[in-house]
């Protein structure tokens, strides 16, 4: 029996015990948003610490300005890659309590699922990695790669102390790739690797005209109306074909490959039910791209808020003194948020009519990311998932950003493999959160196999 076979056997033999341990973890009401649960947060951190010790890691509980970060590591050799695993032990508040069929912090199994707050987000998913490392340690004395595991307690409240930890412990945390299981499969029986996320550029634009609102009868026609002007300026940023008109906006955009487009096209996607769910009759977007392509892999320019002039009932005949728009652009690799902000600013300036003054406030930005799926890490993940789920993962991207992924890239300089074992129907953040137990076991096995294949490189 080779190493992998021993690990598999160990996981099979301990499957039931793993579920019971996970239930213990889920009984801890580690709600980070509510200070009434502070003692439970300490208990959860301690639980994680003990589990990491069991898994053979050297563990420290790192105090922060908020809840502690539990950090464990095991360095086995300079010749093998280092994997950084991330998860979080805090959970969403369980409200509304009356909607839970069984109590949020009293885990129950039904129909092959384990029901409890945190079952999938993220206790159940992070636990797969702790159990896979444990299996390696118990059967082979050590995992086949160096492992570093960060389990924080503030993901649900903004991860405010994580970046500080990453920055101050940058050398300790050096790794080749990060692994995070905090996303979902594409659908039941369709495990996925999320290999791309969009970045963002956020800004606010204000146009100032007359020093106060003016009578539109007395002054109308003689001076620029800041609301008309701003509407014209920001309204022109996306054309009738859904293309962003900012000069240079698409510079650096890495086009979708034929392979990616084929991959997306093969994914089951029911546009009618997608639209019905959000109450929209027709799609609108960049010409020449499908809905999934537009959402996952093409940049956007959205006005998130617009304010100007009279907001009450009925008409009011004024030329407003100013108007403001909040704008975010979703970006894709290799667009640069700073360059996009600069291009937008200078484009708006070029559109600004006489007699109004432009104020541009650059708010924040983050790069989009795509992990090279032809690289060794992705290949290892793909093989591991195929082993555990009986089918290779579909490759998907996501339209949003995941802050921890951006932090790993910016602070530690590494890519992240987003390996979701759950489903997006698992009621994350809602009553009756659950996690399919078969997927829990498959995820644990996939994690174990991933460590094996990474070591093969």
17 vs 364, beta carbon nearer a copy of itself: 364
150 vs 352, beta carbon nearer a copy of itself: 352
* Residue 236: count of CB within 10 angstroms of its CB: 13
Q: Measure the CA–CA gap between 270 and 427, rounded to whole angstroms.
A: 20
Q: Does 166 bind a copy of itself (CB under 8 A)?
A: no
Q: Measure the CA–CA gap between 413 and 411, rounded to whole angstroms.
A: 6
Among 1, 36, 65, 211, binds a copy of itself (CB under 8 A): 211
151 vs 301, beta carbon nearer a copy of itself: 301
24-43 positions binding a copy of itself, by CB under 8 A: none
Pick the piece of the chain touching a copy of itself (CB under 8 A) from 15-23, 119-127, 253-261, 307-315.
Answer: 307-315
412-431 positions binding a copy of itself, by CB under 8 A: none
Among 171, 268, 270, 314, binds a copy of itself (CB under 8 A): 314
HSE-CB at 14 with a 13 A cutoff on CA atoms is 20
Pick the piece of the chain touching a copy of itself (CB under 8 A) from 51-59, 348-356, 388-396, 430-438.
Answer: 348-356
78-107 positions binding a copy of itself, by CB under 8 A: none
Q: What is the 3-state secondary structure (H, E, C) of 203-247?
A: EEEEEECCCCCEEHHHHECCECCHHHHHHHHHHCCECCCCCECCC
118 vs 320, beta carbon nearer a copy of itself: 320
Among 326, 346, 376, 403, binds a copy of itself (CB under 8 A): 326
Q: Measure the CA–CA gap between 121 and 86, rounded to whole angstroms.
A: 13
Q: Does 347 bind a copy of itself (CB under 8 A)?
A: no
Q: Does 301 bind a copy of itself (CB under 8 A)?
A: yes
150 vs 318, beta carbon nearer a copy of itself: 318
Q: Does 370 bind a copy of itself (CB under 8 A)?
A: no
Burial label for 15, CB within 10 Å (0-12, 13-18, 19+), is middle
Q: Please, what is the Cα angle at 162 between 152 and 368, to 5 degrees?
A: 110
107 vs 337, beta carbon nearer a copy of itself: 337
Contact 193, 381 (CB under 8 A): yes
DSSP 324: E
The residue with tokens 């639980």 is 47
Q: Does 305 bind a copy of itself (CB under 8 A)?
A: yes
């Amino acid at each position: 029996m080779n190493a992998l076979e021993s690990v598999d056997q160990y996981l099979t033999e301990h499957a039931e015990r793993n579920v019971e341990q996970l239930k213990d973890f889920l009984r801890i009401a580690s709600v980070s948003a509510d200070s009434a649960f502070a003692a439970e947060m300490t208990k959860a951190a301690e639980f994680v610490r003990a589990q990491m010790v069991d898994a053979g890691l050297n563990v420290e509980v790192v105090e922060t300005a908020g809840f502690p970060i539990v950090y464990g590591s095991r360095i086995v050799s300079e010749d093998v890659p280092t994997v950084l695993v991330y998860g979080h032990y805090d959970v969403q508040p369980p409200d509304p309590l009356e909607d839970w069929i069984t109590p949020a912090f009293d885990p129950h199994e039904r129909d092959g699922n384990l029901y409890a707050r945190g079952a999938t987000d993220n206790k159940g998913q992070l636990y797969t990695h702790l159990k896979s490392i444990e299996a390696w340690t118990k059967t082979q004395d050590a995992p086949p790669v160096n492992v570093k595991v960060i389990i924080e307690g503030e993901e649900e409240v903004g991860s405010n102390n994580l970046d500080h930890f990453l920055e101050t412990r940058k050398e300790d945390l050096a790794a080749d790739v990060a692994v995070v299981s905090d996303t979902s499969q594409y659908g039941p029986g369709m495990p996925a690797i999320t290999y791309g996320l969009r970045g963002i550029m956020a800004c606010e634009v204000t146009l100032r005209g007359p020093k106060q609102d003016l009578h539109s009868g007395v002054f109308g026609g003689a001076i620029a109306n800041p609301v008309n002007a701003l509407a014209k300026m920001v309204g022109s940023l996306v054309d009738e074909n859904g293309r962003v008109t900012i000069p240079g906006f698409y510079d650096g955009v890495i086009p979708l490959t034929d392979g990616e487009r084929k991959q997306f096209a093969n994914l089951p996607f029911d546009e009618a039910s997608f639209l019905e769910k959000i109450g929209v009759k027709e799609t609108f977007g960049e010409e020449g791209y499908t809905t999934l392509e537009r959402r996952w892999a093409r940049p956007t320019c959205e006005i998130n808020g617009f304010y100007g002039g009279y907001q009450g009932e009925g008409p009011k005949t004024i030329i407003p003194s100013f108007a403001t728009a909040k704008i975010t652009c979703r970006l894709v690799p290799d667009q640069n948020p700073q360059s996009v902000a600069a291009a937008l600013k200078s484009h708006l300036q070029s559109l600004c009519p006489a007699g109004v003054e432009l104020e541009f406030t650059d708010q924040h930005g983050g790069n989009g990311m795509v992990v090279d799926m032809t690289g060794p890490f992705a290949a290892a993940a793909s093989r591991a998932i195929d082993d555990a789920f009986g089918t290779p993962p579909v490759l998907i991207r996501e339209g949003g950003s995941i802050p921890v992924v951006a932090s790993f890239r910016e602070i530690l300089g590494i890519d992240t493999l987003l390996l979701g074992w759950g489903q997006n129907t698992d009621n994350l953040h809602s009553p009756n959160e659950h996690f399919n137990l078969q997927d829990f076991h498959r995820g644990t096995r996939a994690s174990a196999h991933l460590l094996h294949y990474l070591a093969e490189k």
